[in-house]
Chains A and B, each alone.
Chain A
Amino acid sequence: MTALLAPSDNLRRRKRWASAFRTLCAALTWFCLVLLAVLLVHATREGLPWLDVQFLREFPSRFPERAGIKSALWGTLWLIGLTAVISIPVGVAGAIYLEEYAKRSRLNAIIDVSIANLAGVPSIVYGILGLAIFVRFLALGRSVLAGALTMSLLILPIIIISAREALRAVPNSIRGASYALGATQWLTIRHHVLPAALPGILTGTILALSRAIGETAPLIMIGALTYVAFTPTGPMDAFTALPIQIFNWVSRPQQEFHELAAAGIVVLLTILLLMNATAVIMRQRAQRNRS
């Protein structure tokens, strides 16, 4: 106590709190990681024996040894591809309009809140909307296109919000510099704002697409088929998707199908991992180009 610079009681108490908080944070983090690891290991161990080229190349079958996920895999790729084509231009354009062009007004504030709310609406609600509008009203049927449009609705709020964040992070000094050189707003956005915001926009977009890839409920709602013995050849074809196929296998009584489901999960996770890795690489490349 009396020694110079030795910790006082008060300091000891504060330090105990500091280390307790640190331990708590670490414990919770590891708890989540371990849980995730258990899931992954379990799925991999169950599914690995079934994972081979045949599994990727065969259509589903009622005989587990002949069943594959070809139609689901292709359905998912079609679905995500179309969703990206639809949602990225619309979402980024919306974000640019709201962030760069629209004046700050009460209407704009209401739109802000609405978009944030839409991001939290349960996906099944989007499924109902998709069923009513795309499947029935626009008579697109149970097509990949109807699925992709529904998925686009689902992830548009996420894309818009993340793209707006990225645009907002572009320093105003860059815009000022551009305008002061006699640039129009379009040129300023095209040459300076968008390139600076691109890494952030890419990250948000790919994360949003990753969410879409795992969504099941809206697809079931709009009537994506569970048993499909063909791959889509165009946007108007019927389709199934990986989560639906997995759901279908899990709900069967035979153990073999449960293991097939596990194998399907591994495939789905691999695609997710690839997409996220792409996001990281694209972001780093875009950032390197700018430094």
Chain B
Amino acid sequence: MSHVTASKVEPQESPAVAADNAPVLEARNLTIRYGNNAAIKDVSFAVPDRQITAIIGPSGCGKSTLIRHFNRMNDFVQGVTMDGQVLYHGIDLYAPHVDAVEVRRRIGMVFQKPNPFPKTVFRNVAWGPVINGFRGDLQKLVESSLRKAALWEEVKDRLNDSALALSGGQQQRLCIARALALQPEVVLMDEPASALDPVSTARIEDLLFELRQRYTIVIVTHNMQQAARVSDYTAFLESGKLVEFGETDQVFTRPKEKRTEDYVSGRFG
């Protein structure tokens, strides 16, 4: 992994200008198959640095398959084959010399259903850094990660309680804190709020705005209002094909494709 800089510069606080930034992640002519069944067909788009990119589309369009390909979580699914490339700072994530474990350390993931470990709150956040050889003040790291996930105030007196005792929304923010504790550059979120109530969802969305200053976020969502509210860029997938990709504002208000318009205006899906 000599291509990737080992230590990252502290991210700037000001939102980056997307247009002239090199993409962090890029799908190039990406086709993903389950057996003979293509779930993603010839998809190409670039995820800009420190922006929120939403992937929307009807159920079964391949959103989750696509996002799981960005940190090689599809490696665990038997029978998945691919054509094309996924580039991370220009490096092919699926090149033979690339280690999938290292990829997942840098590209974090938050899942649809909150899945904290059945351990204490502290251990949930600390485990990832510990196994990855973190040397430093673990207490501090856990605190700052929980602060970034807007959870610290709620759990600071319950760090040694079981994470399963938290509410669903708190558990999901704990999962976000857990991902952030590894100091990833990219955080992938697969419908992170779909199992949560509206209040918890709003908290997650607020959190996304704050995280966007430091992290590149790719979020899969069912919820079009959510995509419109939180994202800077939107990719619209349908039946595994990328119908449209562009700035969220443009995709939702002046879509180039008729099908995008039908979808975002709620005519189907």
Residues of A within 8 A of B (CB): 103-104, 171, 173-184, 187, 191-192, 196, 290-291
Q: Decide if B111 touches A174 in the complex (CB within 8 Å).
A: no
Known contacts A182-B131, A192-B117; A177/B111 CB under 8 A: yes
Q: A177-B116, A180-B179, A181-B132 are in contact. List 13 more A-B contacts (CB 8 A).
A: A104-B78, A176-B73, A176-B76, A176-B109, A176-B115, A179-B76, A180-B111, A181-B178, A182-B102, A182-B182, A187-B131, A196-B118, A291-B162
Confirm or deny: B105 has a beta carbon within 8 angstroms of a beta carbon on chain A. Answer: yes
Distance (Å) between the CB of B71 and the closest chain A CB? 7
Closest to A289 in B: B118
- Bound together, the chains give a CA A192 to CA B182 distance in angstroms of 18
Closest to B104 in A: A182
- Tell me the residues in window 106-136 of chain B with beta carbons closer than 8 Å to chain A beta carbons: 106, 108-109, 111, 113, 115-118, 127-128, 131-132
Q: Decide if B113 touches A173 in the complex (CB within 8 Å).
A: yes
Q: What residues of A have a CB within 8 angstroms of the CB of B118 in the complex?
A: 174, 196, 290-291
Known contacts A174-B117, A180-B71; A291/B182 CB under 8 A: no
Total interface residues on B, CB under 8 Å, equals 27
Confirm or deny: B101 has a beta carbon within 8 angstroms of a beta carbon on chain A. Answer: yes
Distance (Å) between the CB of B162 and the closest chain A CB? 6
- Bound together, the chains give a CA A174 to CA B124 distance in angstroms of 12
Distance (Å) between the CB of A198 and the closest chain B CB? 12
Confirm or deny: B175 has a beta carbon within 8 angstroms of a beta carbon on chain A. Answer: yes
Contact of A179 among B78, B104, B175 (CB under 8 A): B104
Q: Decide if B175 touches A184 in the complex (CB within 8 Å).
A: no
Q: Decide if B73 touches A182 in the complex (CB within 8 Å).
A: no
Known contacts A180-B104, A182-B105; A173/B127 CB under 8 A: no
Confirm or deny: B164 has a beta carbon within 8 angstroms of a beta carbon on chain A. Answer: yes
Distance (Å) between the CB of B126 and the closest chain A CB? 11
Q: Decide if B104 touches A184 in the complex (CB within 8 Å).
A: no
Q: What residues of B have a CB within 8 angstroms of the CB of A183 in the complex?
A: 101, 128, 131
- Bound together, the chains give a CA A174 to CA B117 distance in angstroms of 7
Q: Decide if A180 touches B73 in the complex (CB within 8 Å).
A: yes
